[in-house]
Structure 1
Amino acid sequence: MCGIIGILGRTAVSERLVDSLRRLEYRGYDSTGVATLDDGRLERRRAEGKLRNLEARLLAEPLGGDAGIGHTRWATHGKPTEHNAHPHATERVAVVHNGIIENFRKLRQALEEKGATFASDTDTEVVVHLVHSYLLMGYSPQEAVWASLPQLRGAFALVFLFNGYRDLLIGARRGSPLAVGYGNGETYLGSDAIALAPFADGISYLEDGDCVVLSREKGVIRDANGAVVAREVLKTGGASFVADKANYRHFMAKEICEQPDVVGRTLAHYVDMSAERAALPIKLPFHFSDVRRATITACGTASYAGAIAKYWIERLAHIPVDVDIASEFRYREAPIRKGDLAIFISQSGETADTLAALRHARDKGAHTVSIVNVPTSTIARESEIVLPTLAGPEIGVASTKAFTCQLMALAAFAVAAGAARGEISASEERGLVRELIEVPRLMAAALACEPQIEKLARTIAKTRDVLYLGRGTSYPLALEGALKLKEISYIHAEGYAAGELKHGPIALIDENMPVVVIAPFDSVFEKTVSNMQEVAARGGRIILMTDARGAAEAAVEPEATILLPDMVPTFAPIVYAVPIQLLAYHTAVIMGTDVDQPRNLAKSVTVE
């Protein structure tokens, strides 16, 4: 989740660029940089480490110019060094980037064959050379960007600054957020409103696929089809709403839409994208080959993340895994041996039951690993190993982005364990990492189903009970889908393993019962279809969440089909979490409940 700022100002902008980057420090970063047009020429200053290092560099080597871009980088491709820091530039164009360019190797090879010389190890640098190649062909800056964007595969936000064009910034987003700010004779671009609030009188948010061409007087926004569109301008002086919720009605909606960004950030923390291998950020005090057994302990949504991880760890690393609800773990007197691996998952890191379970396992001599969103929390402090989820602050009580970031961290952990134990080959590890790298883009694509889900929610809101079904890793996701609906809409819902349908829940099926079936086309898809047929035979209303092949081979006619992007099914739960969250959210909105603070619930449960 890198930080982006761009300013077309009336006076020198370098100090304001740094001030804006300081406001984005909460996102986390490991290098910084700015570029300006000094006398119309592109000039850059970059530094490894914290923002104070960039400030020292600018003090020694000042930058003039009234147009510029800045960046705080969280390393993905390449180490956090100065030559990998943003902005990346040629003599004609500079760019800052948030996100991941999945096909950068192919693009880099093609550009190098045409004579491009690369100075970094990053995926971002291919973007600047690609745009530069079109400039050399006589394209205008706008034309060069428009020609380049369709060639980029991944989720990204980009801001371009062009040599000799002091009244031009171009921004584009696909998956990662980007906001436009409007001031008195000035315009701005930023990765969120916090960076823009001190300067902008009004802020608008680009929608997915948008591209904006800014001058100091106006911004022209085009959608993914190239049509000029207007995006609502929100006044910044009215309330903290703009800075906190952006243009979303609720924090939960904002946090659902942030997932491609924050899941990508978490991914970058756990894999070496250049080498295509899992790379845990901490040296472990044990070797995976010595682990005989693992337990995963958590509460609520986090426990469902653990249940999905059980499938991954057992399949990829062949380590037996037990999943326990934290409130039960201590009291059932499960045998824990010295050297066992005990994993604890908590968004807040303060969950009382999970903390008590951790202390119990630690006292028994287990290796304790915590997966938390707050690295200064009690659970983190008392764990032997801390694996942060990097979701950023999650305000909505019902967990969304923390859940999918937990899944990403656990998926990378499973791949690392499998590779370390020799259960997966180097080529299999590379293939799995490639699948993980695609997840942020696929999540962004999944968000496109929101209008259909909003319409479907109007039907769900009229029901009293909903059943969720899934097999394999989709089974814990069915449990999570039911929990989300219960939490914020107060509709009774239950999740079941689809194969258990005929062992009791089928008695509930009638013409009034919606049945949400989570079924990517995978090795158990045909089994799930047979369960859908059982529902259809009894008049149940099937809502199918699947991909194109699954929809074609479903063999039943659902009441509604939510079509998700095609993907290798291994890590599909991270992507399929998006529609189940959206369904719960829109149902709750229609019913008029307090979405962000549902009754009787707290964000962090700090008592047993």
Structure 2
Amino acid sequence: MPIASVDLSSPHSNTAERGGLLQAINDQAALYANLIEHAKANTLAPWLQQPERFADTQAVLLIASGSSFHAAQVARFWIESLANLPTQVELASEFCYQHLRSRPHTLVIILAESGEAADTLAALKYAQQLDYPLTIAIGHHADSTLMQQAQWQLVLEVGEQHSRIATKTFCAQLLGLFLITQTLAQSQNQAIPSDIDAELAALPYAIAQVLSLAPQLKQWAQCLQQPSAIFITARQNYTPIASEGALKFKAMAHRLAEACSCGELKHGIASLATQKIALIACLPWDSVAEKNLADLRQFHHHHCAIFVLSDTPLTKINGLNSIQMPYKLNHLNPLLYAIALQLLAYYTSTTSDSFEQNIKKATSKDVA
């Protein structure tokens, strides 16, 4: 998508870009409050209030790349649990090279930052050639090629962007996918949890609480300068959030960062624990929290710094650096952890020399 050009020869350009990225993160509480209001007023996309259009849907296929792919992976959990529809997630760059059969009654949802990337457009064309009956494009510009070619559109306006590092666009896509999940659940006559409206109303306030954790995240960022590698771990629908967090550390701070499910820490990563590494865990207190904590304890006696984001206090556990997240939202909680990791990656970048050189690569006139 078109991005405001920044004069990198200017001595103030990197400072401006740095401030613009932080501003994009900090704008998210107000941005999503606005999107939720539009959804309630039925001005976001009229078909969101017309579940009968999807009554024949029997499966969902999500296609995306980059950060949007991680958003699609989170949405798979929502769609399968709330709408009871089998859901598949594919990379746009790989989708066209698969030998697939047309599956009647499958809803195709394609996500994109710009709506102009060749892989994404080719994936939509391939899906249409396979005679998938319904296609929805989720993006941020109504006049993009992707939006014009899909059957239905969900345009999520997020304002001007100055870099290709996805922050507010990622979480906006998550919110849009959750709204679609509600519509699909209604179309399948699935019971909608009674707390969803209250949860949507509480989301902007919960995001503001996450943003208020900035001083603590800055302290963590100082500690993250020493480890040679960063691993981010989680389970279930937080695992894609860990992947997105790792991507943010690579893009913003030029740090070696990878994501790993808590249950897989013992395979490979445990053998690196004698080196100086950092382990960041997304640990919402749920049915698997105790198991996740047990998986983390195996690293206590190694040269591994452990950082835990959790909605329950963990300060009394030896060997853990913990920050208490806001009160848990039943469904939208992954957004809060995504924003916390965005802030942590940003502050890690500002405590090193990597930000300025990286921002020169991240600033361009076009973005996929």
Q: With the length of structure 2 as denominator, give the TM-score of the two structures.
A: 0.88
C-alpha distance in 1 between matches for 2:220 and 2:360: 22
- Corresponding letter in the other structure for 1:385: W
2:137 aligns to what SS in structure 1?
A: strand
Task: Name 1:304's counterpart in structure 2.
Answer: 70
> 1:400-453, CA deviations, whole angstroms, 9 ceiling, x for partnerless residues?
00011111111111122112211224xx2x411211221111001100111111
How far did residue 558 of structure 1 move?
4.2
C-alpha distance in 2 between matches for 1:361 and 1:286: 23
2:62 aligns to what SS in structure 1?
A: strand
Indicate which of 324, 336, 359 corresponds to 1:597.
359
Task: Name 2:264's counterpart in structure 1.
Answer: 500
Indicate which of 138, 159, 164 corresponds to 1:371.
138
> 1:219-246, CA deviations, whole angstroms, 9 ceiling, x for partnerless residues?
xxxxxxxxxxxxxxxxxxxx9x9xx96x
Task: Name 2:79's counterpart in structure 1.
Answer: 313
> 1:352-407, CA deviations, whole angstroms, 9 ceiling, x for partnerless residues?
21111011111212211111011111111111110112212222221100011111
How far did residue 598 of structure 1 move?
5.0
> 1:296-334, CA deviations, whole angstroms, 9 ceiling, x for partnerless residues?
111111110000001111110011111111111111223
Indicate which of 199, 215, 218 corresponds to 1:454.
218
Indicate which of 561, 573, 582 corresponds to 2:322.
561
Task: Name 2:342's counterpart in structure 1.
Answer: 581
Task: Name 2:203's counterpart in structure 1.
Answer: 439
Indicate which of 115, 118, 126 corresponds to 1:352.
118
Task: Name 1:381's counterpart in structure 2.
Answer: 148
Indicate which of 148, 151, 171 corresponds to 1:404.
171
* Inter-CA distance 486–422: structure 2 relative to 1 (3 Å threshold): same
Aligned partners of 1:458 and 1:590 also within 8 Å: yes
- Corresponding letter in the other structure for 1:350: E
C-alpha distance in 2 between matches for 1:569 and 1:504: 32
Aligned partners of 1:279 and 1:416 also within 8 Å: no
Aligned partners of 1:543 and 1:560 also within 8 Å: yes
Aligned partners of 2:60 and 2:85 also within 8 Å: yes
> What are the within-5 Å matches in structure 2 for residues 19-98 of structure 1?
none
Within the alignment, does 1:530 sit opposite 2:294 as a pair?
Answer: yes
Task: Name 1:416's counterpart in structure 2.
Answer: 183
With a CA cutoff of 8 Å and minimum separation of 6, indicate the structure with the bigger relative contact order.
Answer: 2
Aligned partners of 1:461 and 1:588 also within 8 Å: no
* Inter-CA distance 489–279: structure 2 relative to 1 (3 Å threshold): closer
C-alpha distance in 2 between matches for 1:586 and 1:404: 19
1:395 aligns to what SS in structure 2?
A: coil
Task: Name 2:94's counterpart in structure 1.
Answer: 328
C-alpha distance in 1 between matches for 2:34 and 2:319: 36
Indicate which of 295, 310, 314 corresponds to 1:551.
314
Task: Name 2:103's counterpart in structure 1.
Answer: 337
Greater strand fraction, Structure 1 or Structure 2: 1
How far did residue 485 of structure 1 move?
0.2
Task: Name 1:51's counterpart in structure 2.
Answer: none
Percent of aligned positions with the same letter in both sequences? 27
- Corresponding letter in the other structure for 1:462: Q
Task: Name 2:331's counterpart in structure 1.
Answer: 570
**Structure 2 residues without counterparts, runs of 5 or longer:** 1-9
* Inter-CA distance 421–398: structure 2 relative to 1 (3 Å threshold): same
C-alpha distance in 2 between matches for 1:550 and 1:382: 49
* Inter-CA distance 550–379: structure 2 relative to 1 (3 Å threshold): farther
Q: With the length of structure 1 as denominator, give the TM-score of the two structures.
A: 0.55
C-alpha distance in 1 between matches for 2:364 and 2:126: 25
C-alpha distance in 2 between matches for 1:279 and 1:434: 19
C-alpha distance in 2 between matches for 1:368 and 1:598: 36
C-alpha distance in 2 between matches for 1:272 and 1:531: 45
> What are the within-5 Å matches in structure 2 for residues 506-517 of structure 1?
506-510=270-274, 512-517=276-281
> What are the within-5 Å matches in structure 2 for residues 87-236 of structure 1?
none
Structure 1 residue runs of 4+, over 4 Å off? Answer: 283-286, 600-606
- Corresponding letter in the other structure for 1:495: A
How far did residue 269 of structure 1 move?
2.6
Question: How many residues end up aligned between the 2 structures?
Answer: 354
2:286 aligns to what SS in structure 1?
A: coil
* Inter-CA distance 605–352: structure 2 relative to 1 (3 Å threshold): farther
C-alpha distance in 1 between matches for 2:360 and 2:308: 27
Aligned partners of 2:45 and 2:153 also within 8 Å: no
Aligned partners of 2:163 and 2:363 also within 8 Å: no
- Corresponding letter in the other structure for 1:404: C
Aligned partners of 2:78 and 2:181 also within 8 Å: yes
* Inter-CA distance 418–603: structure 2 relative to 1 (3 Å threshold): farther
Aligned partners of 2:51 and 2:186 also within 8 Å: no
C-alpha distance in 1 between matches for 2:365 and 2:21: 12
